[in-house]
Structure 1
Amino acid sequence: MLLVRFTILVVALCSARIAGAQSYWQQEVNYSIDVSLNDKQHSLEGFERMEYINHSPDTLRFIWIHLWPNAYKNDRTAFTDQQLQNGNTAFYFSGSDDKGYINKLNFKVDNETAETVDHPNYIDIVQLVLPSPLLPGKKIVITTPFHVQLPYNFSRGGHIGESYQATQWYPKPAVYDRQGWHPMPYLDQGEFYSEFGSFEVRVTVPENYVVAATGELQDDAEKNWLRTRSSFDWKPEKIKIKTKAGSYKTTYQQYPSSAVKTKTLTFKESRIHDFAWFADKRFIVDMDTCRLPSGKLVDVASYYLPEEKSQWQHSVAYAKTAVRNRSRWIGEYPYKNVSVVQGPKGYGAGMEYPTITLIPPAESEIALDKVIEHEIGHNWFYGILGSNERQYPWMDEGLNSYYENRHSQLKYPAGDAKFGNTSYHSKDMATLFVNTVVALKKDQPINTPSDSLSEINYALMAYLKTADWLSYLEAKYGRDKLDNAIQAYYEQWKFRHPQPADLKESISKSLGVPQDSLFSYLDKTGPLPNSIPGGTRVVFTSPRSIANYISSPVKNLISIGPAIGTNKYDNIALGLFFTNYKFPPSPLQFFVAPMYSTGIKKLAGTGLVNYSFHPDNGAFRKIRIGVSASAFGINEFKDSGKTTSLSFHKIVPSVRFVLTEKNPKSTMNRYIQFKTFMISEDALQFYNDTTIVGTDTSVASKYRVINNNRTLNQLMLVWENNRALYPYRGELKIEQGTDFVRAGFTGNYFFNYAKGGGLDLRLFAGKFFYTSSKTFSKQIQTDRYHLNMTGANGREDYTYSDYFAGRNAFEGTASQQIMVRDGAFKVRTDLLADKIGKTDNWLAAINLSSSIPSSINPLSLLPIKIPLKFFLDIGTYADAWKRNSNEDRFLYDAGLQIPLLNETVNIYIPLLYSSVYKDYINSTIADKKFWKKISFSIDISHFSLRKINRNLALE
Structure 2
Amino acid sequence: MMKSPIILALLIFISCSLSATPYWQQKVDTKLQVTLDDKRHVLLGYEELDYTNNSPDTLRYIYMHLWPNAYEHDHTPFAEQQTQNGEKAFYYAKSKDRGYIDSLSFLIDGEKAEYHNTEMMPDVARIDLPHALPPGGHMHISTPFGVKIPRIFSRLGHTKQAYFISQWFPKPAVYDRKGWHPIPYLDQGEFYSEIGSYEVSITLPKNYIVMATGNCSDNAEIKWLDSLAQLPLPSDTLYRKGWPASDEQMKTLHYHEDNVHDFAWFADKRWIVRKDTTTVPETGNVVVAYAAFLPVDKKKWLKGTDYLKATVQHYGKWVGPYPYKTIKAVEGDMHAGGGMEYPTVTIIDRAASSELQTVIVHEAGHNWFYGIQATNERDHAWMDEGINTFYEHKTVNALGAEKIKTKAKGISININSSTEDLLYYEAASVRTDQAIDQNAANFTELNYGGDVYIKTALMLKWLEQYMGEDKFEAGMHEYYNTWKHKHPYPEDMQAIMQKHSDKSLDWFFKDILNTDKRIDYALRNIHMGNGVTEVQVKNKSGVNAPVRVDAYKGDSIVASGWSMPFTDAATVEVPAINYSKLKISDDIPDVKRANNSNHGGLKLGVIAGLNRSEKERLFVAPALGYNNYDGFQLGLLFHNITIPENRFRFALAPMYGFNDGQFTGTGSMSYTWYSRGLFSNITLQVDGKSFNYASTSQNITDPLYARYIKIAPSLVFTFNEHNLRSPAVSSITLKAYSISEDIFNFNLDPADSLYKPSIATQQKVYGLLRFDHKNSRTYNPFNYNFEGQMGADFAKINIEGNVRIDYMLPKKALYVRGYFGKFFDIGNNPAAASRYYLNSTFTGPNDYLYDDTYIGRSAQNGFTAHQVSIREGGFKIPTPLYTDPVGRNDNWLAAINLESDIPKIPLIRLFLDAGTYANAAQQNASTNKFIFDGGIELHMLFDAVKVYLPLVMSKDFSDYMKSMYPGKVVQNSIVFSIELRNWDWLKAPSKLLRRLSN
TM-score by length of 1: 0.89
Moved more, 474-483 or 896-905: 474-483
1:844 is aligned to: 894
Taking the aligned partners of 1:937 and 1:17, their CA distance within structure 2 comes to 72
CA contact 2:28–2:196 (8 Å) conserved in 1: yes
CA contact 1:879–1:885 (8 Å) conserved in 2: no
Taking the aligned partners of 2:401 and 2:65, their CA distance within structure 1 comes to 44
Q: What one-letter code is carried by the residue in structure 2 that aligns with 1:313?
A: L
TM alignment of 1:398-797, pairs within 5 A:
398-412=386-400, 428-519=418-509, 520-528=511-519, 530=588, 531=590, 532-533=592-593, 534=595, 535=597, 536-542=600-606, 546=609, 549=610, 552-554=612-614, 556-617=616-677, 619-639=678-698, 640-691=700-751, 698-756=752-810, 757-773=812-828, 778=830, 780-790=831-841, 792-797=842-847
Q: What one-letter code is carried by the residue in structure 1 that aligns with 2:640?
A: N
Q: What one-letter code is carried by the residue in structure 2 that aligns with 1:493?
A: W
1:951 is aligned to: 994
Name the SS of the counterpart of 1:75 in structure 2: coil
- Kindly, what percent of the aligned residue pairs are identical? 37
Taking the aligned partners of 2:211 and 2:833, their CA distance within structure 1 comes to 74
2:137 is aligned to: 138
TM alignment of 1:107-122, pairs within 5 A:
107-122=106-121
CA contact 2:198–2:258 (8 Å) conserved in 1: yes
Moved more, 165-174 or 868-877: 868-877
2:931 matches 1:901: no
RMSD: 2.7
2:929 matches 1:889: yes
Taking the aligned partners of 1:634 and 1:682, their CA distance within structure 2 comes to 9
Taking the aligned partners of 1:109 and 1:155, their CA distance within structure 2 comes to 32
Moved more, 809-818 or 163-172: 809-818
Moved more, 46-55 or 313-322: 313-322
Q: What one-letter code is carried by the residue in structure 2 that aligns with 1:583?
A: I
CA contact 1:94–1:754 (8 Å) conserved in 2: no
How far the C-alpha of 1:436 sits from its partner, in A, is: 2.9
How far the C-alpha of 1:254 sits from its partner, in A, is: 5.3
Taking the aligned partners of 1:264 and 1:941, their CA distance within structure 2 comes to 65
CA contact 2:68–2:156 (8 Å) conserved in 1: no
CA contact 1:837–1:877 (8 Å) conserved in 2: yes
CA contact 1:417–1:424 (8 Å) conserved in 2: no
Moved more, 394-403 or 345-354: 345-354
Partner of residue 322 from structure 1, selected from 311, 315, 324: 311
CA contact 1:212–1:279 (8 Å) conserved in 2: yes
How far the C-alpha of 1:20 sits from its partner, in A, is: 7.8
Moved more, 102-111 or 219-228: 219-228
How far the C-alpha of 1:234 sits from its partner, in A, is: 10
Taking the aligned partners of 1:255 and 1:496, their CA distance within structure 2 comes to 42
Partner of residue 256 from structure 2, selected from 268, 279, 297: 268
Name the SS of the counterpart of 2:320 in structure 1: coil
2:373 matches 1:385: yes
CA contact 1:685–1:706 (8 Å) conserved in 2: yes
Name the SS of the counterpart of 1:382 in structure 2: coil
How far the C-alpha of 1:353 sits from its partner, in A, is: 0.7
Taking the aligned partners of 2:649 and 2:150, their CA distance within structure 1 comes to 49
Partner of residue 299 from structure 2, selected from 310, 314, 327: 310
Distance 1:213 1:145, change over 3 A: same
How far the C-alpha of 1:885 sits from its partner, in A, is: 4.4
CA contact 1:677–1:712 (8 Å) conserved in 2: yes
1:293 is aligned to: 281
Taking the aligned partners of 1:573 and 1:16, their CA distance within structure 2 comes to 75
Distance 1:853 1:253, change over 3 A: farther
Distance 1:947 1:476, change over 3 A: closer
Taking the aligned partners of 1:301 and 1:718, their CA distance within structure 2 comes to 56
How far the C-alpha of 1:416 sits from its partner, in A, is: 8.2
Provide, for residues 158-179 of structure 1, a one-character-per-residue CA deviation record: whole Å limited to 9, x for no partner.
1222221111000000000000
Provide, for residues 254-289 of structure 1, a one-character-per-residue CA deviation record: whole Å limited to 9, x for no partner.
544433221111111111001111122222212221
Q: Which runs of 5+ in 1 are unaligned?
A: 1-14, 239-251, 692-697, 858-865
How far the C-alpha of 1:513 sits from its partner, in A, is: 3.4
Provide, for residues 122-175 of structure 1, a one-character-per-residue CA deviation record: whole Å limited to 9, x for no partner.
111111112222122221111000011111211111122222111100000000
CA contact 1:439–1:526 (8 Å) conserved in 2: no
Name the SS of the counterpart of 1:133 in structure 2: strand
Taking the aligned partners of 1:739 and 1:679, their CA distance within structure 2 comes to 15
Taking the aligned partners of 1:145 and 1:516, their CA distance within structure 2 comes to 49
Partner of residue 884 from structure 2, selected from 834, 845, 849: 834
2:101 matches 1:102: yes
Taking the aligned partners of 2:248 and 2:403, their CA distance within structure 1 comes to 51
2:884 matches 1:816: no
Name the SS of the counterpart of 1:921 in structure 2: helix
How far the C-alpha of 1:466 sits from its partner, in A, is: 0.6
TM-score by length of 2: 0.86
Name the SS of the counterpart of 2:183 in structure 1: coil
TM alignment of 1:233-252, pairs within 5 A:
233=234
2:53 is aligned to: 54
CA contact 1:405–1:427 (8 Å) conserved in 2: no
Taking the aligned partners of 1:848 and 1:805, their CA distance within structure 2 comes to 26
Taking the aligned partners of 1:17 and 1:672, their CA distance within structure 2 comes to 53
How far the C-alpha of 1:435 sits from its partner, in A, is: 2.9
Name the SS of the counterpart of 1:642 in structure 2: coil
How far the C-alpha of 1:670 sits from its partner, in A, is: 0.2
Taking the aligned partners of 1:56 and 1:319, their CA distance within structure 2 comes to 37
CA contact 2:681–2:718 (8 Å) conserved in 1: yes
Moved more, 710-719 or 404-413: 404-413
Moved more, 514-523 or 193-202: 514-523
Moved more, 314-323 or 743-752: 314-323
CA contact 1:61–1:134 (8 Å) conserved in 2: yes
Moved more, 750-759 or 637-646: 637-646
Q: What one-letter code is carried by the residue in structure 2 that aligns with 1:786?
A: Y
CA contact 1:898–1:908 (8 Å) conserved in 2: yes
The size of the alignment, in residue pairs, is 900
Distance 1:134 1:616, change over 3 A: same
How far the C-alpha of 1:540 sits from its partner, in A, is: 3.5
Provide, for residues 570-600 of structure 1, a one-character-per-residue CA deviation record: whole Å limited to 9, x for no partner.
2232222322333333332222222222223
Q: What one-letter code is carried by the residue in structure 2 that aligns with 1:768?
A: F
Name the SS of the counterpart of 2:500 in structure 1: helix
